[in-house]
Chain A
Amino acid sequence: MSYGTSQRTSGDAKKARPGRTLFVTLLLTAILGGVALSLGATSINLGLDLRGGTSVTLQPRIQDGDTGQVTPEAINQAVSIIRQRVDSLGVAESEVTAEGTGTNRQIVIAVPGETGRRIVDLVGQTAELRFRQVLVEAGSVPTPNDSELLAGLNLSSDEEARFLALDCTSFDSNAVVDKPDSVLVSCDRNSFSRYLLAPAVVVGRDVRGATAAIDPQSASGWFVSLDFNGDGTKKFGQLTQDVVNLPAPQNQVAIVLDGVVVSAPRINEAILGGQAQITGSFSQLEAQDLANVLKYGSLPLAFDRGEVQQVSPTLGSDQLEAGLLAGGLGLLLVVIYSILYYRALSIVVIGSLALAAAHVLLSLALLTEAVGYTLTLAGIAGTILAIGVTADSFIVYFERIKDELREGKPLRVAVETGWQRARRTIVVADLVGGISAIVLYIVSVGSVRGFAFTLGLTTIIDLIIIFYFTKPLVSLIAKSRYFQVGSKYSGVSSRSVGTLREDESGEVKS
C-alpha cells in the first residue's frame, strides 16, 4: 500500500441495485405516511413557548424542620396531588410530569392558555395529610333533607352553608378551605360522597410509616397497616377511643390529603398501641395507593418554585413564526449553497433534504400521537441545525467522490469507492453527534431538552436517508451520460473537481 493512492475495497461483490433501493425507501416512506394518517397523527403538539401558557417547574424538598429524604415515591405522590389540583381547573391539555432522575427530580406543570396566576398559586403549596373524625357523610348531590343531618352539631352558619352548598358532581378541590383546627367540608376522591369532618387532631407528621400487605388467611385480602410515632400513638389512641362507640358515621375517621377525603374507615376498636390496620375490599393497587398517601403524609414535600414562565399567546405565535422562518431560511441558504457549489449534483442534496424533512415531520407527528410529544422552540432550533448535519454528510461524500476522480477513476467507480470511505466518516461523525444529543438530553432541564431530542432524532434520520436514499440516488445518476462525461454544470466536471491544471487551461483563472 503506497501513500497517496487509496486503499480500496474492490467494490462489494453483491450487485448494487440503486433503483430498487430507492424505490423501496420511497415506498416505505409512503407507507409510514399512510400509517401516520390512519392513526390520525396529522398534527404536532406545540409547546407553551409556541402557543402561550404557563409553565411552572417545582423543586421538591423536605420541609424546614423535618429530616428525611426526598424519595421517588414521594415525588410520584406529589405529582399526582398536583395533577389533581391542576385537573380541577378544567383546562384541557394540562400536563404535570416529573423530570430528571432519582431523587433529584423536578416537577413540571404546563398549562396552556391564560390561567397564569391561579396555576402558580395553586401548585406551590405543600399538601398536608390529616385525620379527621367524620361528622356527616351523605350522597354526592345535595338533598332537601340535608339540614336535618346538621342538627346538634354546633356549627357556625358559614360552615352549615358550605355543607349545604356542596355538590360533589361539580366539586372544585382547590376551593376547599383546609385548616387543621376547623371543620372541613369536602368530597372523596371519586366524588361519591359529601363529608363534614371535625377539626384534625392527628396529622400526617404523627405517622411513622405505612405499608400495603395481603393476608392470605383471611378473606379481607389486601390491607394497609399504619404505624404511628410516640406522639401520634397517644393522639390516635385518644381519637379512636372517643369515636369507637358513636353511631355511624361518627365512628369513622377520614384520611384527608390536600383537602380531599382519600378514605374514611370505621373504627372497630380503640387503637392504643400505635398500630392500625385499615381493611376493606381493597385491590392491590388501592391498598398501595392508600399506603403511599399515608407515607407521603408523614413527610410532606415542600416545593421551591424553580422557574415560572408565563408566555402570552402573542409571543407564542411570534416564536412559532420565527422558528418556521428560520427553518425556511436555513433550508434555502443550504440549497443555494449546494446549487452554487455542486451544480446539478445538488438535485441529490435537495431531494435528500426534502425527504429528511418529510421524515422529521412524520416522526414528530407519530410521536405526538404515540407518547404525547411536544415540540418547543428549542426543538425547532434542533431540527434547523440538523439541516447542517445532513448537508455535512453530503459534502463528506461528494468530496470523497471528487478525491476518487482526482485519482483518475471514472465516475461510476468513484461513486462506489468514494462511498466505501465516506461511509465510515459519516457514521463516526453521526455517532459523535448522537452521543452529544443523548448527553444533552439527559443533563438539560425544561424546554431545552427538546433541542437535544430533535437533534438526536434528526441525526438518526440523516443516517437512514444517506444510506438508503442519497447513496443509491448518486449511484443512479452516475449512470447517466450527463454526469459521466463531467458536463459543465454537473458538479463533477473537471473544473469542479480540479483535475485540470491552471497551466493546461486558460479558463480556470478566476
Chain B
Amino acid sequence: MKFTGLGGRLYRGETSLEIIANRKKWYLLSTVFILLSMFALGFKGVELSIEFKGGSSFTVTTSTGSIDQAKAAVERSGYEGELRAQTIGENKIRIQTGVIEQSLSNDIQDSLAAEFGVTVESIDTQNVGPSWGEEISRKALQGLIAFLVIIMIYLALAFEPKMAIAAIVALIHDVFITVGIYALVGFEVSPSTVIGFLTILGYSLYDTVVVFDKVRENTRAITATGRYTYGQATNLAVNQTIVRSLNTSLIALLPVAAILFVGAGILGAGTLKDLSLALFIGLIAGTYSSIFIAAPVLVQLREREPAIKALNQRVLARGGGSATPSQRIQNRRDKRKKRS
C-alpha cells in the first residue's frame, strides 16, 4: 500500500520527484540510447521479414522431423540459394527461402510433404513477390507521416501548439528507441511489427495527453498568480499524474503481455508475437518519454516565451518557488479556514 500512499504524497507535493529540474540527465540518457540505436541501425540494420524482402516460407508440422531433413528436402526440389530453417513451438519446422517462382514453391511443398509424410495442404506456405515489400514499406511510411501530421494538428488545436511539438518530440524519441532495440536484439520486423509500432505512437500520445492535461490545468492562470515558475508548475503536474501514468501503462501492458506470452510461447511466431512485441517495447518507451521527455521539452519551449521568462524571473526574485507546493497549499487552506 506504500504505492498508493505515495500517490497522495506526490499529489500534495510532499514528496517531489524533480523531473523537470533534472531534465539534462534524462536528455543525456535518451541521447545515449538514441545514439546507440542509430549505431545499431547503421551497422546492423533491422532484420526484415520475407514480407519486406520477398521470399517464401514453409511451415511443416512434424513431431519427429529434423531441420536437416527439411533442408535436404528443399534442396532436392532444385532450390538453390539462401535457406534458413528453424524450429517453431513444439512441433513445427519453418524453412525460409529467397524469392521463388510459384512452380518451384509447389515443388518444394511436394518435396517437404514426401519427406515428412504429410499432405501438401497441411504445409503452411507464404510466397511473397519481390516488389511487395516496397509497396508495404511505402504505405507504412505514408502512414507514419500522415499520422504525425494529423496528430500534430489535433494536439495543437486541442492543447497548445508547443504541447504538440513536445508530444511529437517524445514520439520521435520512442520511434528511435524502439527501432534501435529491434536492430540491437535482431528481432525480425514484419508488417505486423510495423502496425504494432504505429499503434504505439497512439499509446505514447495517450500518456502524454494525460500529463499535458494536468500541466495545462496547473499552468492556466500561472502568470496571474505568479507563485510558481512554469517549470515548477509542470513538475508538480508530472508528479500528480505519475501514478496514473504508471497505472495506465501497466494496465495497458497486461493484455499486451498476454498476447506476447501466447503468441511467442504457444504459437511461436506470427502476427500475435510480432504485434505484441512491438507494442511491449514501445509502451515502455512511451511511458518513459511522456514523463521524462515530453514534459521537460514543453518547459524548455515555453520558457523561451517573454511572458514565461518574466514570470520565472519574478517568482525567483521574490524567492518564491522555494517552498514546496504542499506548504503553499497548506498555507492557503489555513487562510481559507481563517476567513470562514
Task: Tell me whether A448 and B191 are in contact in the complex, defined as CB-CB below 8 angstroms, given that A59-B129, A318-B267, A429-B209 are known contacts.
Answer: yes
A312 to B59, CA, bound (A): 10
Per-residue 0/1 for A468-510: is the Cβ within 8 Å of any B Cβ (1 yes, 0 no)? Answer: 0000000000000000000000000001111111100000111
A431 to B195, CA, bound (A): 18
| B135 & A59 in contact (Cβ 8 Å cutoff) | yes
Per-residue 0/1 for B229-262: is the Cβ within 8 Å of any A Cβ (1 yes, 0 no)? Answer: 0000100000010011001101111111111011
| A308 & B266 in contact (Cβ 8 Å cutoff) | no
A151 to B126, CA, bound (A): 51
In the complex, whether B179 has a CB less than 8 A from a CB of chain A is no
Report how many A-B pairs have Cβ atoms within 8 Å. 286
| B195 & A7 in contact (Cβ 8 Å cutoff) | no
| A315 & B251 in contact (Cβ 8 Å cutoff) | no
Residues of A close to B154: CB separation below 8 A? 431-432, 435
Closest partner residue, chain A, to B141 (CB atom): A443
In the complex, whether A295 has a CB less than 8 A from a CB of chain B is no
A444 to B59, CA, bound (A): 25
In the complex, whether B202 has a CB less than 8 A from a CB of chain A is yes
A384 to B129, CA, bound (A): 31
Residues of B close to A337: CB separation below 8 A? 250-251, 254
B residues 267-299 touching A (CB-CB < 8 Å): 267, 270-272, 275-276, 279
Tell me, rounded to whole Å, the shortest Cβ–Cβ distance linking A77 to chain B: 21
A residues 400-414 touching B (CB-CB < 8 Å): 402-403, 406
Residues of A close to B325: CB separation below 8 A? 3-4
| A3 & B225 in contact (Cβ 8 Å cutoff) | yes
Task: Tell me whether A443 and B275 are in contact in the complex, defined as CB-CB below 8 angstroms, given that A312-B122, A424-B213, A436-B201 are known contacts.
Answer: no
> On chain A, which size bracket covers the interface?
35 or more
Closest partner residue, chain B, to A338 (CB atom): B251
Task: Tell me whether A443 and B140 are in contact in the complex, defined as CB-CB below 8 angstroms, given that A307-B127, A406-B8 are known contacts.
Answer: yes
In the complex, whether B29 has a CB less than 8 A from a CB of chain A is no
Task: Tell me whether A334 and B271 are in contact in the complex, defined as CB-CB below 8 angstroms, given that A307-B51, A315-B59, A433-B206 are known contacts.
Answer: no
A358 to B222, CA, bound (A): 45
Closest partner residue, chain B, to A432 (CB atom): B205
Q: By DSSP majority rule, is chain A's interface helix, strand, loop, or mixed?
A: helix
| A387 & B12 in contact (Cβ 8 Å cutoff) | no
Could you say which of B5, B131, B146 has the most chain A C-beta atoms within 10 Å of its C-beta? B5
In the complex, whether A120 has a CB less than 8 A from a CB of chain B is yes
A2 to B331, CA, bound (A): 12
Selected from A6, A384, A510, the residue in CB contact (under 8 A) with B2 is A510
Residues of A close to B24: CB separation below 8 A? none
| A314 & B61 in contact (Cβ 8 Å cutoff) | yes
Task: Tell me whether A377 and B272 are in contact in the complex, defined as CB-CB below 8 angstroms, given that A2-B332, A384-B258 are known contacts.
Answer: yes
Selected from A4, A314, A341, the residue in CB contact (under 8 A) with B329 is A4
| A498 & B252 in contact (Cβ 8 Å cutoff) | no
Closest partner residue, chain A, to B266 (CB atom): A322
Closest partner residue, chain B, to A437 (CB atom): B202
In the complex, whether A14 has a CB less than 8 A from a CB of chain B is no
A409 to B150, CA, bound (A): 39
| A508 & B217 in contact (Cβ 8 Å cutoff) | no
Tell me, rounded to whole Å, the shortest Cβ–Cβ distance linking B327 to chain A: 11
Tell me, rounded to whole Å, the shortest Cβ–Cβ distance linking B166 to chain A: 15
A59 to B133, CA, bound (A): 12
Per-residue 0/1 for B118-160: is the Cβ within 8 Å of any A Cβ (1 yes, 0 no)? Answer: 0011111111110110011001101100110011001100100
In the complex, whether B102 has a CB less than 8 A from a CB of chain A is yes
16 further contact pairs, Cβ within 8 A, besides A121-B102, A315-B59, A330-B256: A3-B228, A3-B328, A4-B13, A4-B325, A120-B102, A304-B131, A307-B128, A312-B61, A330-B257, A333-B258, A377-B272, A392-B251, A395-B244, A447-B271, A451-B275, A495-B4
Which residues does A use to contact B, with CB under 8 Å? 1-7, 49, 57, 59, 106, 114, 116-117, 120-121, 124, 304-312, 314-315, 318-319, 322-323, 325-327, 329-331, 333-334, 337-338, 341, 377-378, 381, 384-385, 387-389, 391-392, 395-396, 399, 402-403, 406, 421, 424-425, 428-429, 431-433, 435-437, 439-440, 442-448, 451-452, 455, 495-502, 508-510
The 6 closest A-B pairs by CB, nearest first: A498-B8, A330-B255, A443-B143, A436-B202, A388-B252, A330-B258
